[in-house]
Amino acid sequence: HPDTIARSNICLKGSMRRAVLETNVPRESAVRAASETLARSMGVDNVSGSLAAGRYGNVILADKELNLKAVIQKGVRIV
């Protein structure tokens, strides 16, 4: 399933949302864990995990409650 991590039943979006809204993890820390840290652990941090020159332009836009509003993948809005 595309919403899971490494074929587990863990949903990254749901986990990040719960961390921020239910356990008061700072948004910046949750975003870093879901992007930079995850990319590094998967060995793809040279092309993904942050917005920098030479990396994929993948962005998820969310409201204050972390409800998905848009997805931009490789620079193209897909949702």
d(CA 46, CA 79): 25
Region 11-20: what's the mean pLDDT?
Answer: 84
For 45-63, what is the mean pLDDT? 84
Q: What is the pLDDT of residues 62-78, one digit of tens each?
A: 898 888 899 888 888 99
| Interatomic CA distance for residues 37 and 74, integer angstroms | 19
Evaluate whether 38 touches 31 at the Cβ level (below 8 Å).
Answer: no
Q: Are the C-beta atoms of 71 and 77 separated by less than 8 Å?
A: yes
Summarize the confidence of residues 18-40 as an average pLDDT: 88
17 within 8 A of 27, measured Cβ to Cβ: no
E strands present in 1-79: 59-62, 68-73, 76-77
Tell me the pLDDT band of 48, cut-offs 50, 70 and 90.
Answer: confident
pLDDT bin (cut points 50, 70, 90) of residue 56 is: confident
